[in-house]
Amino acid sequence: MANEARGARGRRFAESLDPDAAELNASVGFDWRLLPHDVAGSIAHAQMLGRRGILPAADVERIVTGLREIGAELAADLADLKDRESPLDSALEDIHMNVEARLSARIGAAGGRLHTARSRNDQVATDLRLYALASAKKLMLELDNLRRALLAQARAHVDTLVPGYTHLQRAQPIRLAHHLLAYVAMFGRDRARMEDAAKRADECPLGSGALAATTFPIDRNQVASDLGFRGVTRNSLDAAGDRDFAVELVMACALAQAHLSRLGEELVLWSSQEFQFAKLPEAYCSGSSIMPQKVNPDIPELVRAKTGRVFGDLMALLTVIKGLPLAYNKDLQETQEPLYDAVETLDICLRVTARIVRGTVFDVDRMWKSVAEGHLVATELADYLASKGIPFRRAHDVAGSLVRKAQSRGVELVALSLEELRAEDPTFDPDVYEWLDPLRAVDRRDVVGGPARNQVLAEISRLEQELG
């Protein structure tokens, strides 16, 4: 066990690693997440070695059986560590050496043959790619779940009008459904980015060795197929020494988290007493330690704040890889924690946000009232005149003058008389008041991507079909 405790150092070193250096060097405190992928990769590797006649069939059988047993045992032990210590030995540096040491202790010399024709470099790279693929798949499912939650609210609020904003100032009336569908579109692109990032991770590096492949007659394509990869990497230096697939996945996580932050910000604003557009489910709010009346939107605020954390993960990854010579360097170990953190942070934020969206109650009357205040149909006056042949810049100026007049009287534009309108431009006719109806104003925007009722319904139907 003394040699095993030195991890991969073996008898090359007469002196044990300094305790602080050992702590700095160890990754078992976080790379336990790779356990299922490490076991799967080792099984595929062993079975290939057997098929190629590199290992005896009896050894392969013992290795595979032992790996499956150890994988199941460790998975159960790692499932809940709150009340007990980790079952992993930190002196063995990482999850890979922990599994291999247990395997050798269980099946003897055959366990030591598992590492034939591979290095920890290509082993770790393979495990990380498998982790990235599994994570991308899970995050895509969570993104779709959030999109369904937004879509359900959109379907319920097709006929609810809400102010659309620019510069956080009321701008034009839109449908609440249209507003919610904007987030469905954002998270749809985030999903596509996850899927796209997974394509670059979907190549198996096993067989690349430490940096220069192996002299053994291995079958890389078979291992890749057994592990579910679509193919193999084409350069051993690159495969062992880069983590751009992790950077790309975390970049997709960062953008998705940024979109979550925007949604969280609007939930915070809309649930405030200043807006009163929405009431969040109490399971995602908290109270005040001294003010009994408070209902604080803590969870959307945390979702918003977690964005900085995921941005930091991305910057950490980019910084680690930016100046590394080829091929493997221990620096690459530092790419793991940012990857895990970004994935796990986004995962929980997606899950809670979907539940918040499903449970939010929108104040329809309050939204309608806000649409009726603030001259949100001023653009309709300009469009009306432009439709009569008045140059738009002239029409815009006339509408601005009428807004100023209405504001000075403390009324909305619809309260101005036809004579007052014609005093600015004689082109106005009685039908102008139809243009000042917010609902009609929204429905005149009947173009693909617009907020008109039939366009919104068509988009909802399209998305419902897409999401199933």
Among 167, 289, 408, 417, which one carries the catalytic annotation? 167
Q: Is the pLDDT of residue 4 over 60?
A: no
Q: Please say if 370 is a catalytic residue.
A: no
Domains of the chain: 2-116 (1.10.275.10), 121-364 (1.20.200.10), 370-467 (1.10.40.30)
Dump pLDDT digits (tens) for 129-177: 999 999 999 999 999 999 999 999 999 999 999 999 999 999 999 999 9
- Which whole number is the average pLDDT over 293-319? 96
Q: Which amino acid is at 259?
A: H
pTM equals 0.93
Residue 6's pLDDT band (cuts 50, 70, 90): very low
Tell me the pairing of strands 278-279 and 161-166: unpaired
- The distance from CA 365 to its chain's CA centroid, rounded to whole angstroms, is 34
Answer yes or no: 115 catalytic. no
State pLDDT tens for residues 19-31.
888 878 888 889 9
Listed in sequence order, the residues at least 6 apart from 286 whose beta carbon sits closer than 8 Å to its beta carbon are 295, 296, 298
**Mean pLDDT (whole number) for 387-410:** 96
Tokens of 32: 């336990």
Active-site pick, 272, 286, 288, 461: 288
Q: Do residues 227 and 47 make contact, with C-beta atoms less than 8 angstroms apart?
A: no
In sequence order, the 6+-apart residues with CB closer than 8 A to the CB of 235 are none
Is residue 220 within 8 Å of residue 207, measured between CB atoms? yes
Q: pLDDT tens digits for 243-261? A: 999 999 999 999 999 999 9
Query: Using a CB cutoff of 8 Å and minimum separation of 24, what contacts does 64-69 make?
Result: 65/107, 66/103, 66/106, 66/107, 66/111, 67/39, 67/42, 67/43, 67/99, 67/103, 68/39, 68/43, 69/106
> CA triplet 306, 310, 311: central angle to 5 degrees?
110
For residues 454-464, one letter each, b for 16 or more C-beta atoms within 10 angstroms of the residue's C-beta and e for the rest, the string is: ebbeebbeebe
pLDDT for 172-215, tens place per residue? 999 999 999 999 999 999 999 999 999 999 999 999 999 999 99
- Please give the average per-residue pLDDT across 314-325, as a whole number: 96
Q: What is the pLDDT of residue 91?
A: 85
